[in-house]
Chain A
Amino acid sequence: MRGPVEISRRAMLEGAVGILVLPLSASAALATPESMAAAMEEALGKGTPMKAGRVRIELPELAENGNSVPLKLTVDSPMTPADHVKMLYVFSEKNPVSNVVRFHLGPRSGVARVQTSIRLAATQRITAVARMSDGSLWSGAADVIVTQAACLDET
């Protein structure tokens, strides 16, 4: 009796492997730093120089699971009607979609501080850009090591 049971187990396993392999072959391609640059240009426009600084991006250095990684952003800004952050953009160089999330802020925010949870498809650098009320762009970045990628992004 034992033989046939094992064969059917094997057949089931093969079937399962087939199902597991199939989606991988049709998986979405990983984005590249170039596609991130294109997404940034589209979102931020050409011509405005981006300066490094004022934006602080907090991510764990090591994310065990890329499905949900806590992200905190802080911008050094007085957040007054005359001088405030208007937009905060988050870009990924390795996720299938380079735009991750955007926040619209204003003087009524009081401080420029937001948090959310994001997906990470691979070990990468995450870039945040703040657009100030005077039109200037400031950026900050953080590197994250992802041990288990967001399988939701199938990469």
Chain B
Amino acid sequence: MPATRIVVPAKAKKGEIVEIKTIINHPQETGFRHDNVGRPIPRDIITRFTCTYAGEEVFRMDLFTGVAANPFVGFTTIATETGDLVFEWTDQHGAVTREQTRLTVT
């Protein structure tokens, strides 16, 4: 499973805007490159990233080949209740990488 990094506060006040940043180790291979003997390198990309918060989707991203390798995204959500933030990256073959963190809302 590709390595991921998530930056999100552990605690937030209700109504506060929470900044979330994530990155996943992935070549996001475009399919336009060739290896050192001229053979095309097949496309291999993450196509979708989602974030759910206490079971409800709050953010989604559709990725194409124009997203740089090791796809990074920064986005926001309003702190509503204590719950899990679940992050899912789906590649073009349907393989899912899943991570989660707890956000405590006071």
Residues of chain A touching chain B, judged by Cβ–Cβ distance below 8 Å, are 19, 22-23, 26-28, 67-69, 90, 92, 95-97, 99-106, 108-111, 113-119, 151-155
Can you give 22 A-B contacts (C-beta < 8 A)? A22-B38, A23-B33, A26-B34, A95-B65, A95-B66, A96-B65, A97-B66, A99-B66, A101-B67, A103-B60, A103-B75, A104-B59, A108-B78, A109-B75, A109-B78, A110-B78, A116-B67, A117-B68, A117-B72, A152-B32, A153-B30, A153-B32
Decide if B77 touches A109 in the complex (CB within 8 Å). Answer: yes
Answer whether residue B69 sits at the interface, using C-beta atoms and an 8 A cutoff: yes
Partner of A23, one of B30, B34, B60: B34
User: In the complex, what residues of A have CB within 8 A of residue B74's CB?
Assistant: 114-116
Residues of chain B touching chain A, judged by Cβ–Cβ distance below 8 Å, are 17-18, 29-30, 32-34, 36-38, 40, 53, 56, 58-69, 71-78, 80
Decide if B61 touches A102 in the complex (CB within 8 Å). Answer: yes
User: In the complex, what residues of A have CB within 8 A of residue B32's CB?
Assistant: 27-28, 96, 152-155
User: In the complex, what residues of B have CB within 8 A of residue A103's CB?
Assistant: 59-62, 75
Who on chain B is nearest to A27 by CB?
B32
Interface of B is mostly: strand
Complex Cα–Cα for A151 and B74 (A): 25
User: In the complex, what residues of A have CB within 8 A of residue B38's CB?
Assistant: 19, 22-23, 26
Complex Cα–Cα for A154 and B30 (A): 9
Question: Which of B18, B34, B62, B64: most chain A Cβ within 10 A?
Answer: B64
